[in-house]
Amino acid sequence: MSAALPRVLSLIPPMTQLNTPYPSTAYLTGFLRTRGVQASQQDLALGLVLRLFSREGLAQIHEVVQAIDPARRGPASTAFVAGYERYRATIAPAITFLQGRDPTLAHRINTRGFLPEGARFASLDSYVAEDGEDPLAWAFGALGLQDRARHLATLYLNDLADVLRESVDPRFEFVRYAEQLATAQPHFDPLHDALQAPPNLVDRLLAELTEQALAAHDPGVVLLSVPFPGAVYGALRIAQTIRRLRPRLPIVLGGGFVNTELRELAEPRLFDYVDYVTLDAGERPLLALLEHLAGSRSRQRLVRCFVRERDEAQGQDQVRYLNFSEPDVAFEDVGAPTWDGLPLRDYLSLLDMLNPMNRLWSDGRWNKLTVAQGCYWKKCSFCDISLDYISRYEAASAKTLVDRIEAIVAETGQTGFHFVDEAAPPKVLKALAQELLARGVAISWWGNVRFEKTFTPELCRLLADSGCIAISGGLEVASDRLLQLMKKGVSVDQVARVTRAFADAGVLVHAYLMYGFPTQTVQDTVDALEYVRQLFENGCIHSGFFHRFACTVHSPVGREPEAYGVRLLPLPPGRFAKNDVGFVDPTGTDHDAMGRALKKAIYNFMHGIALEQDIRRWFDVRVPKPTVARHRIAKALAAAEPR
């Protein structure tokens, strides 16, 4: 039966990331091949960037900029025209260097005379240096040749991205391309209008890449994976091109954005671009859909799938959700992901942030792998714990996981792994570490965990011995009261002990931090920042990021707001995306003002700046003195040390 199933092409739309393939297509391609399906994949996000940032691409950008009245050009575009010949001469070498193909070019880049320098290089002036000294010496020292050059080449690409935003497409981003058209957007109108507008240069190049992909693979079905709102516009532009070229070719939309924001989809116009929209883990829905397209399964037996149907009685189209009851494919049986067909040597290692932990997200080619399906904790009140990607927890055996790791290393030649779990279970990580060591498999790996007490100093050392180089986890609000309200299951002191255990084992630690949680006061925020300062000061964490709390309809806060002391605002009517929901917090805290201070402070903490100073210096408004004892974290760590 599987031999009759149609050929599948999975596409990664712009934009996801540039240093390594987004893993969804690798998972699905690997799984489908275990079921005998002819499956291939292509990364159009990377392809688009490489097409734009080439000699030919810059010539096309230059043509667009030249057509704009000089009086109306932005500063980046004006500088680009003035330095065009230098940009055109250096773009191919710079890209080749960022791909790791020409490391000796670092010497020329570091002279600061090879690459043209625009406004993005002004950030270098913010680094303090003595007269005549190198302003980057604090970060790279005398020998950080490759990293220094990658940072400069990244600034160079950011200058060119500014030109694109000014003169070609104001929505252009390397990661979050046109995300405002899709994020929590109740109406399809903004996306529809953008898709009906005349194509710009970026759109035209993406259409060319899509046409080439169809010609190369001749698929019977195309899968479009949209993990983020910033990939939706690109995915639908791809679908638009497929519709024009091959109107009868089935197109399937799925991924993280669909799973969170389109669960109540009722917009028929989306199906002008795609034929099917699937929810949650893709293995079972895809098998059912492929069997339907091959004629061996009825349409009524599709699994977790939206389709468009004609309501003859009302004379209009409507969206119907089909969900024939079938068990999901067990995590143990999904097989190893494959990167076959993706140009692994073409990805770009970028270095935006000089912090050694923070850089991991954009620097290096990581094999992305999931240790377990779902979250073993699934209690956090801010999280979408009612959805399948969190609520359905399944783990694979350590033997299966290491078998997958060995297969991936054999295929890619790369031994770096990023475990992309919501929260990797400590029990599974321990077994995995023991299996890696027992089998003599040498890899480097990092991933996300909960900072729970199970991570003892002994376990942290075992994980480090197995190849763990970095860990990220949610400290969130750095307030014991709010952590309890969140049902996070940790305390500030416990997080300090766990993160210090990882740091002492030589593992870099990143903390996810949150502000604006229900009932969070100005005093809570000030105290949280003081805790974070002390964690940096005591070497517990090396990196962090503050993000604003967003209430979602799938989280406990969104489902039971009264339990968290807030009142939800009515959702705007609409038939498209539904996720974020506004709320009224009686504390009335100005979280925007707090957020500016928090982000400024943590940026400096990550660079070792002002760790000994009063944290109130970061706030533009008058705030109260922290109520946290200045050496609280140090005392908590000392109390936990063996006597």
Q: Please, which residues have CB within 8 angstroms of residue 612's CB and are 6 or more apart in sequence?
A: 537
Structure tokens at 280: 């949650």
**Confidence band (pLDDT; 50, 70, 90) for 142?**
low
Q: Give the tens place of pLDDT for each residue, 382-414.
A: 999 999 889 999 999 999 999 999 999 999 999
Residue 354 pLDDT: 76
CA angle 581, 586, 587 (to 5 degrees): 110
Backbone angles phi, psi at 224, to 5 degrees: -115, 115
Q: Is the pLDDT of residue 1 over 60?
A: no
- Helix 145-167 to helix 55-66 angle (10° resolution) is 40
Q: Give the tens place of pLDDT for each residue, 510-555.
A: 999 999 999 999 999 999 999 999 999 999 999 999 999 999 999 9
Q: Please, which residues have CB within 8 angstroms of residue 436's CB and are 6 or more apart in sequence?
A: 402, 405, 443, 466, 467
Residue 138 pLDDT: 57
Mean predicted confidence (pLDDT) in 475-486: 91
The SS3 call for residue 316 is strand
Q: Give the tens place of pLDDT for each residue, 418-473.
A: 999 989 999 999 999 999 999 999 999 999 999 999 999 999 999 999 999 999 99
Q: Is the pLDDT of residue 286 over 50?
A: yes
Q: Give the tens place of pLDDT for each residue, 174-198.
A: 988 999 899 889 999 999 999 999 9
- Tell me the whole-structure pTM to 2 decimals: 0.93
Residue 127 pLDDT: 56
Residue 222 pLDDT: 98
Strands 221-225 and 8-12: parallel
Q: Is the pLDDT of residue 132 over 70?
A: no
Q: Is the pLDDT of residue 117 over 50?
A: yes
When computed from its CA atoms, the radius of gyration of the chain, rounded to whole angstroms, is 25
Preceding omega of 15 cis (within 30 degrees of 0): yes
Domains by residue range for the chain, with CATH: 2-19+179-332 (3.40.50), 50-167 (no CATH), 353-567+577-640 (3.80.30.20)
Backbone angles phi, psi at 543, to 5 degrees: -155, 160
Q: Specify the DSSP element, H or E, that contains 315.
A: none
Greater pLDDT, 139 or 48: 48
Residue 137 pLDDT: 63
CA–CA separation, 82 and 104 (whole Å): 28
CA–CA separation, 401 and 34 (whole Å): 16
**Confidence band (pLDDT; 50, 70, 90) for 134?**
low
The amino acid occupying position 452 is E
Residue 361 pLDDT: 87
Q: Is the pLDDT of residue 557 over 50?
A: yes
Could you tell me if 515 and 548 are in contact, meaning their C-beta atoms sit under 8 angstroms apart?
A: yes
Q: Give the tens place of pLDDT for each residue, 341-370.
A: 999 999 999 998 777 788 888 888 999 999
Residue 353 pLDDT: 78
Q: Is the pLDDT of residue 268 over 60?
A: yes
CA–CA separation, 637 and 504 (whole Å): 12
Q: Please, which residues have CB within 8 angstroms of residue 124's CB and are 6 or more apart in sequence?
A: 135, 136, 155
Mean predicted confidence (pLDDT) in 60-76: 97
CA–CA separation, 37 and 3 (whole Å): 7
Could you tell me if 406 and 419 are in contact, meaning their C-beta atoms sit under 8 angstroms apart?
A: no
CA–CA separation, 254 and 262 (whole Å): 10
